[in-house]
């Protein structure tokens, strides 16, 4: 790389300061706008900002299974359509026995949401003519639209309804090349299930032969009447003739929402407040800023001039991250904040790896500029491998996850890519600028001291026993509690509960609700996991608790009447279902398992040794079980933050382990022998050489989480404590378990045994030769 001249160095540093000032001002505007909820605000989730709640009434005859299936499909509708351009994270849950509520964040106009969400109705694909040759629908020139000639009931009886929405697997708008002109045109692509495929094959074969159409009828009107241009037998078809991509999107939306198993009509809509309270976001911002400043000071104290470069780059990283969240309209939730914290930890980690390498190079006698270049080069593989494995986790969760899981994946992926860029490009640019202006003495950069090699392999049994004991305590706690209830303290997000709406005689702030009302509700219900939401433009407050029986509801009503002077008519209670349904739990579990498998394969591919991947995955499982044990023993509420916490632990654990494995790979390559003793020495040296990096990274990430624990609201602290334990556990497992597991696998391998055998033979020969020589001495 061409060396930077002195004037270029000064100019670069001026540009860096200007960039930080500009981005800092922009970020400050975004933070201020978010706290004041004006047009410069970030898009926030229900947990941080509230939104609009729409309740639908289910009509007709249906089962509980039909209602749950409808809830799940509506959740998909919210996740895919409303979040298509803004990563909206809404929640959908069942209320009572015959209603479904949809809550969507970042919306203050209920009518706008209803227009975008659409009116859930029934969907039918109808033959143009019946068996007698009479048209089932015809074009009305006076209205300019198609109308039915028979009722839906009559068409069902005659068998002229080809499909209903329940036989549609998916429908999406896309572009397709016109076979005649070659130009791209918007179409709707539809995929059917097995029953729909068979029925549609028969209907389209007949319609194509006679040149007829099949009408798509939704919510008492035809939304499209396409002519069948070919027999469709594979269950996949497209509807063309769209005038615009927006029209294709609308039709695809009608087809998807028409696939609900139950007919829904709008019952009520209202604007609701944040589930975590209005202070949650402000305290999170405050904690994040304080934590970031402490991390910057720590980096400068530990790494001198490179630490200052990293602090400046970290400032640029943070401001760009906020700008991306704002410009791309990405919904920020509590899990999203977790993803950002993890990516900040990884940004620091990348810098620490680089700086440690630079110091090692200086210690070998290299000139500073040469050491900088060599340090970045040698650190590259560890940084790439660590970040790629984390990106694998984010990608799998983004594709297979839903709701808050997908939101976590998006912020994590953006953060990881951005952290790599700032560490490998921005930090290097700043560091080279400092060198160019004359700061070239090695005292500004530091020199690695001789590493004291600690014998971790000797203590491996102690580590294994300690970890096993903690996990057994956690599993035992889960077993004991499961006898009388649930092994974990599941929140109402997992189990459902009771929603009590109270209209007070005055308006209470969120802070007043938390301090004056919630403790009384908790005392009556015996539930510490209480979610509150304000109803905007009114005195109403929603209290969501565990499921209450009739006696508990009456006691709660009495408490409100005696303490706040409300009447019984001002209180309404109803049971609600979980917002984290079984399907979402299954998707999250599948996503984690797929991510673990891909990590195993990637590490196998990069390190050419399956034992590295196996050890990393076992350490990952260990970390999850340790945090799970904390939840079980401390009875911490298990809700959506639980999922975010576990995902963060997985991402952090893998990244930490990769760095040590990268050093083992390097030391193995340079090792002349690979017998058991040599492998133990290599493992101990590799851990010892990366120990300061592991501790520093763990400390800086822990500082960020600790600030949330100290300054955050009660709901934030409930999330921060397990996350802090997860960060510490991830560091512990990387140092004390993953490498030890690799050593055991490698030391007992065939190649190691061959090397051990050769070593013994060589030793015997040497001893024999010594004895023979001693026998010759007179």
pLDDT digits (tens, 9 = 90+) for 550-579: 888 889 999 999 898 888 888 888 887 776
Tens digits of residue pLDDT in 619-677? 989 999 999 999 999 888 887 677 767 777 877 778 778 889 988 988 888 877 777 88
Query: Which pLDDT band holds residue 763 (cuts at 50, 70, 90)?
Result: low
Residue burial 554-564, b: 16+ Cβ < 10 Å; e: rest: eebbebbeeeb
Helices (H) and strands (E) in the chain, counts: 24, 17
Find the range with the poorest average confidence among 291-295, 434-438, 490-494, 506-510.
490-494
Query: Which pLDDT band holds residue 259 (cuts at 50, 70, 90)?
Result: low
Q: Which structure tokens are listed for 469?
A: 């004991």
Q: Which structure tokens are listed for 544?
A: 């969501």
Residue 525 has pLDDT above 90, yes or no: no
What are the E-state strand segments in 39-133?
51-59, 91-95, 99-105, 123-127
Query: What local confidence, expressed as pLDDT, does residue 83 receive?
Result: 47
Query: What local confidence, expressed as pLDDT, does residue 147 receive?
Result: 92
Q: Which structure tokens are listed for 191?
A: 């995929």
Q: Are 46 and 88 in contact (CB under 8 A)?
A: no
Query: Which pLDDT band holds residue 306 (cuts at 50, 70, 90)?
Result: very high
> Which strands make up the sheet holding 571-576, listed edge to edge?
263-272, 51-59, 99-105, 91-95, 571-576, 497-503, 540-545, 531-534
Neighbours of 667 (CB within 10 A): 16
Query: Which pLDDT band holds residue 415 (cuts at 50, 70, 90)?
Result: confident
Neighbours of 40 (CB within 10 A): 14
Residue 89 has pLDDT above 70, yes or no: no
Identify the helix (H) or strand (E) that includes residue 533. Answer: strand 531-534
DSSP, collapsed to helix, strand or coil, labels residue 96 as: coil
Q: Which residues contact 668 (CB under 8 A, 6 or more apart)?
A: 674, 682
Percent of the chain with pLDDT over 90: 21
Query: Which pLDDT band holds residue 540 (cuts at 50, 70, 90)?
Result: confident
Neighbours of 449 (CB within 10 A): 9
Residue 713 has pLDDT above 70, yes or no: no
pLDDT, greater one: 440 or 279? 440
Exposure of 31 in the CB half-sphere (CA atoms within 13 A): 18
Query: What local confidence, expressed as pLDDT, does residue 274 receive?
Result: 63
**Residue holding tokens 């060396």?**
3
Q: Specify whether the backbone of 466 is left (phi greater than 0), alpha (psi in -120 to 50) or beta.
A: alpha
Beta-ladder partners of 638? 490
Note if the pTM is more than 0.85: no
**SS3 of the chain: helix, strand, coil, percent, to 5:** 65, 15, 20
Beta-ladder partners of 191? 170, 236
Spatial distance between the Cα atoms of 78 and 91, rounded to a whole number of angstroms: 8
DSSP 8-state class, residue 227: B
For 576-636, give the secondary structure using H, E and C.
ECCCCCHHHHHHHHHHHHHHHHHHHHHHHHHHCCHHHHHHHHHHHHHHHHHHHHHHHHHCC
With 0-12 / 13-18 / 19 or more C-beta atoms within 10 angstroms meaning exposed / middle / buried, residue 631 is: buried
Kind of pairing between the strands at 221-224 and 236-239:
unpaired
Residue 757 has pLDDT above 70, yes or no: no
What are the E-state strand segments in 165-242?
168-177, 184-192, 214-218, 221-224, 236-239
Neighbours of 383 (CB within 10 A): 24
Q: Are 122 and 219 in contact (CB under 8 A)?
A: yes
Identify the helix (H) or strand (E) that includes residue 148. Answer: strand 145-148
Nearest to 78 by CA among 120, 125, 123, 39: 120
Spatial distance between the Cα atoms of 402 and 311, rounded to a whole number of angstroms: 35
Query: What local confidence, expressed as pLDDT, does residue 242 receive?
Result: 76
Residue 124 has pLDDT above 80, yes or no: yes
Query: What local confidence, expressed as pLDDT, does residue 70 receive?
Result: 79
Query: Which pLDDT band holds residue 15 (cuts at 50, 70, 90)?
Result: very high
Query: Which pLDDT band holds residue 311 (cuts at 50, 70, 90)?
Result: very high
Nearest to 756 by CA among 670, 683, 676: 676
Query: What local confidence, expressed as pLDDT, does residue 404 receive?
Result: 64
Tens digits of residue pLDDT in 29-43? 988 887 777 777 887
Q: Which residues contact 662 (CB under 8 A, 6 or more apart)?
A: 381, 382, 385, 386
Query: Which pLDDT band holds residue 136 (cuts at 50, 70, 90)?
Result: very high
> What mean pLDDT is predicted for residues 46-65?
77
Residue 475 has pLDDT above 90, yes or no: yes
Q: Are 319 and 27 in contact (CB under 8 A)?
A: yes
Query: What local confidence, expressed as pLDDT, does residue 649 receive?
Result: 80
Query: What local confidence, expressed as pLDDT, does residue 85 receive?
Result: 40
Nearest to 495 by CA among 485, 505, 503, 509: 485
Spatial distance between the Cα atoms of 478 and 483, rounded to a whole number of angstroms: 9
Residue 226 has pLDDT above 70, yes or no: yes
Spatial distance between the Cα atoms of 229 and 489, rounded to a whole number of angstroms: 57
Query: What local confidence, expressed as pLDDT, does residue 456 receive?
Result: 93
Query: Which pLDDT band holds residue 239 (cuts at 50, 70, 90)?
Result: confident
**Which of the listed ranges 122-126, 279-283, 615-619, 648-652 does the model predict with the highest average pLDDT?**
615-619
> What mean pLDDT is predicted for residues 381-388?
86
């Amino acid at each position: 790389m061409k060396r930077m001249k002195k004037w270029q160095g000064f100019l670069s540093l001026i540009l860096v300061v200007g960039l930080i000032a500009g981005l800092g001002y922009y970020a400050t505007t975004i933070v201020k706008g978010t706290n004041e909820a004006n047009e410069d605000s970030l898009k926030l989730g229900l947990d941080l900002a509230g939104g609009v709640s729409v309740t639908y009434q289910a009509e007709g005859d249906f089962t509980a299974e039909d209602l749950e299936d409808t809830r799940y499909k509506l959740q998909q509708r919210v996740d895919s359509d409303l979040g298509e351009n803004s990563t909206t994270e809404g929640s959908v849950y069942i209320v009572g026995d015959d209603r479904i509520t949809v809550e969507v964040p970042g919306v203050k106009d209920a009518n706008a949401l209803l227009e975008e969400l659409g009116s859930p109705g029934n969907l039918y694909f109808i033959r143009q003519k019946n068996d007698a040759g009479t048209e089932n629908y015809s074009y009305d020139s006076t209205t300019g639209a198609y109308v039915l000639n028979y009722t839906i009931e009559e068409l069902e009886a005659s068998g002229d309804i080809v499909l209903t929405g329940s036989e549609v697997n998916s429908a999406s708008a896309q572009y397709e090349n016109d076979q005649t002109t070659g130009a791209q045109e918007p179409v709707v692509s539809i995929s059917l299930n097995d029953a729909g495929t068979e029925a549609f094959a028969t209907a389209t074969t007949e319609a194509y032969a006679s040149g007829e159409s099949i009408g798509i009828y939704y919510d008492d009107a035809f939304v499209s009447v396409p002519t069948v241009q070919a027999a469709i037998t594979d269950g996949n078809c497209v509807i063309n003739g769209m005038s615009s991509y927006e029209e294709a999107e609308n039709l695809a939306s009608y087809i998807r929402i028409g696939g609900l198993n139950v007919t829904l009509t709008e019952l009520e809509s209202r604007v609701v407040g944040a589930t975590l309270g209005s202070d949650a976001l402000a305290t999170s911002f405050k904690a994040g800023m304080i934590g970031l400043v402490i991390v910057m000071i720590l980096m400068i104290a530990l790494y001198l001039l490179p630490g200052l470069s990293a602090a400046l780059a970290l400032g640029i990283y943070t401001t760009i991250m906020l700008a991306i969240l704002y410009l791309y309209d990405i919904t920020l939730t509590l899990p999203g904040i977790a993803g950002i914290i993890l990516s900040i930890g990884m940004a620091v980690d990348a810098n620490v790896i680089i700086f440690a390498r630079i110091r090692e190079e200086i210690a070998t006698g290299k000139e500073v500029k040469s050491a900088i270049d060599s340090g970045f080069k040698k650190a590259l593989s560890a940084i790439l491998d660590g970040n790629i494995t984390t990106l694998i986790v984010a990608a799998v969760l983004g594709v297979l996850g839903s709701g808050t899981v997908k939101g976590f994946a998006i912020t994590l992926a953006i953060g990881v890519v951005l952290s790599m860029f700032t560490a490998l490009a921005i930090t290097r640019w700043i560091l080279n600028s400092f060198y160019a202006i004359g700061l070239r003495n090695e005292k500004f950069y530091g020199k690695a001291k001789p590493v004291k090699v600690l014998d971790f392999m000797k203590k491996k049994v102690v580590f294994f026993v300690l970890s096993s004991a903690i996990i057994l305590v956690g599993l035992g706690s889960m077993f004991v509690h499961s006898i009388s209830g649930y092994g974990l303290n599941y929140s109402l997000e997992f189990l459902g509960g009771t929603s009590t709406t109270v209209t007070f005689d005055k308006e209470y702030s969120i802070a007043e609700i938390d301090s004056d009302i919630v403790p009384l509700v908790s005392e009556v219900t015996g539930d510490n996991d209480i979610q509150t939401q304000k109803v905007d433009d009114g005195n109403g407050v929603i209290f969501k608790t565990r499921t209450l029986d009739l006696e508990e509801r009456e006691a709660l009503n009495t408490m409100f009447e005696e303490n706040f002077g409300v009447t019984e008519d001002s209180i309404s209670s109803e049971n609600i279902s979980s917002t984290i349904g079984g399907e979402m739990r299954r998707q999250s579990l599948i996503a984690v398992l797929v991510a673990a498998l891909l990590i195993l394969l990637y590490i196998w591919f990069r390190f050419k040794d399956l034992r590295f991947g196996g050890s990393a995955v076992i350490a990952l499982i260990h970390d999850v079980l340790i945090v799970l044990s904390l939840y079980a023993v401390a009875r911490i509420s298990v809700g959506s933050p639980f999922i975010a916490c576990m995902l963060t632990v997985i991402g952090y654990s893998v990244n930490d382990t990769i760095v040590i494995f990268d050093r083992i790979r390097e030391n193995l390559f340079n090792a002349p022998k690979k017998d058991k003793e040599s492998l133990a020495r290599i493992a101990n040296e590799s851990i010892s050489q990366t120990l300061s990096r592991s501790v520093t990274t763990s400390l800086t990430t822990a500082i960020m989480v600790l600030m949330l624990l100290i300054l955050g609201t009660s709901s934030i602290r409930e999330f921060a404590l397990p996350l802090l334990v997860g960060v510490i556990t991830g560091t512990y497992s990387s140092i004390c378990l993953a490498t030890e597991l690799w050593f055991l696998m490698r030391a007992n391998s065939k190649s190691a045994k061959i090397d051990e055998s050769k070593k013994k033979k060589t030793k015997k020969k040497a001893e024999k030769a010594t004895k023979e020589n001693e026998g010759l001495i007179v």
